[in-house]
Structure 1
């Protein structure tokens, strides 16, 4: 089948590569426009656009996918289906109607759970024991279309959202290819999502990533893992942001008040509403990441996190 692939970040690449290596023909990619990133705010191609450049595949990057020029080009490409992985923009009805088999979306949750932009982060934050991925028919509702295929994935006690997303992206690539194959033969029929079990996963903001030391240790642990690697957990230290890597609740640690820091020779503990947590990696403002013990040895006095 002729495929136009829609995606933007690195997490979309496993699916794009699987489709490109298959018997199907990836005739173009749809991605977000070049944008400034990083500390220097240099303009960069999206990972999907960069991949397409390397493989000689046409890149479509409209500011909005309702632009007439984009809709005209999509029709000219005569795609049978448009698989989507983290494209990052709402697809209008006019675009949805163009491919023969419509648009299908790889979503990293067990729908109808965690509909929205950040399903993996919310699953970790919520303490879910199990998650997965679904490929569903894209429609105007938010992640509401019928499901063609799904897979499950356990969430380990030390998994970050980055760990989990890497595994789901790899497994989801195989699932998406299976769904595309099934659609091509006409063997697949979408299954409507149940009305029960709906939950929502809005985008995680930088403020969401701020650690609440008044929370229990298990909640602090979940929040830090949920926002690792992006947008990255942080706490306030004397008006500056101190970025934090994953922490470990320590029932045998010292008794501390929420936000109180205890520095020892090889460890740094921080108090929560319950037991303290053991810091792993930290990154002071304007510096490179370092282990917490090395950071602690450079302190004049034990600080307190706000």
Structure 2
């Protein structure tokens, strides 16, 4: 089939590459406009744009799928549209422009975690399994019939970044299999069943760790917001970022919530139950560093993180 692919971040590139190397023809890629990156805010093509250029696939750059994009896609006479984390809504009449409409690769067991951040919300919630789901795109939010899905267990220490990378690779295989089945007529879509839950996009405030909660909840939130928007607590009123941490074990002595200490060479941060073990941190105005190096640099100065919800 002739396919139009829409996507933007790195998580979408395995799907684009898999489709390009399949029996199908990716005739164009739609991605968002170049965006400023880094401290110098240099305009940089999206990861999908860079991959498309490497593969020699024509690009359509747009931040909105408006009438102009619809006309350009219609002129391609595509059989199917495929979208993976484009970052914008597909509405009529673009939904109906390819002969088979549009399908979407989503990282949840729909209707669980409809929305922009299913992986992150699943981890924050403490979920132990997660799906990759290929479904038919409709005007409703992630409401279309399911073509194909597969489930995997979440490793107890996986962060959102690590899990998303893994799902992006396995989901690319599911996506190609779904496209094959749609072309061959061997797949039959099924309606979603169950009570929907929603995964809204994360904001900076979602990275705040509530140290009054038990360790399991604190650690799940840390996993869900790493690497973006990033986990943090407030120390002396300033944001103290936590880049890497471990759940520890039952042998670690408890600390009052928000208290720091070093025990057996490990930097600990007290929660509502057992402490969180910090391995890489970033104090306000400083570069990221090994947590033990940071602790030694405090030279015994009493420190505490804010307990309760913080921003």
Check whether TM > 0.5. Answer: yes
My pick for the range that moved more, 260-269 or 120-129, is 260-269
Aligned to 2:167: 168
Alignment partners' CA distance in 2, 1:181 and 1:255: 55
Aligned to 1:93: 92
Residue 233 in 1 paired to residue 237 in 2?
no
Aligned to 1:14: 14
Secondary structure of the residue that 1:93 maps to in structure 2?
A: coil
Alignment partners' CA distance in 1, 2:151 and 2:254: 39
Deviation at 1:264, TM superposition (A): 4.4
Alignment partners' CA distance in 2, 1:185 and 1:169: 24
Alignment partners' CA distance in 2, 1:54 and 1:164: 26
TM-score normalised per structure 2: 0.94
> CA-atom RMSD, angstroms?
1.3
Residue 263 in 1 paired to residue 252 in 2?
no
My pick for the range that moved more, 139-148 or 292-301, is 292-301
Aligned to 1:134: 133
Alignment partners' CA distance in 2, 1:60 and 1:239: 45
Aligned to 1:205: 203
Aligned to 1:156: 155
- Structure 2: state its 5+ residue gaps: 307-311
Count of aligned residue pairs for this structure pair: 304
Deviation at 1:265, TM superposition (A): 6.3
Secondary structure of the residue that 1:208 maps to in structure 2?
A: helix
Q: Is the 8 A contact 2:28 2:58 kept in 1?
A: yes
Aligned to 1:283: 282
My pick for the range that moved more, 212-221 or 47-56, is 47-56
Q: Is the 8 A contact 2:160 2:224 kept in 1?
A: yes
Deviation at 1:77, TM superposition (A): 0.5
Q: Is the 8 A contact 1:265 1:293 kept in 2?
A: no
C-alpha distance after superposition, 1:137-175 (max 9, x if no partner): 000111010000001010111111112111111110000
Alignment partners' CA distance in 1, 2:259 and 2:21: 53
| Aligned residue among 240, 243, 249 for 2:241 | 243
Aligned to 2:54: 54
C-alpha distance after superposition, 1:163-208 (max 9, x if no partner): 21111111100000001111111222210001x2321111111101
Deviation at 1:270, TM superposition (A): 1.0
Deviation at 1:242, TM superposition (A): 1.6
C-alpha distance after superposition, 1:224-275 (max 9, x if no partner): 0111111111111223222112332443323321111113461211111112
My pick for the range that moved more, 278-287 or 10-19, is 278-287
Q: How does 1:66-77 map to 2 (within 5 A)?
A: 66=66, 68-77=67-76
My pick for the range that moved more, 57-66 or 143-152, is 57-66
Alignment partners' CA distance in 2, 1:286 and 1:39: 14
My pick for the range that moved more, 104-113 or 197-206, is 197-206
Secondary structure of the residue that 1:257 maps to in structure 2?
A: coil
Q: Is the 8 A contact 2:261 2:269 kept in 1?
A: yes
Aligned to 2:142: 143
Deviation at 1:69, TM superposition (A): 1.9
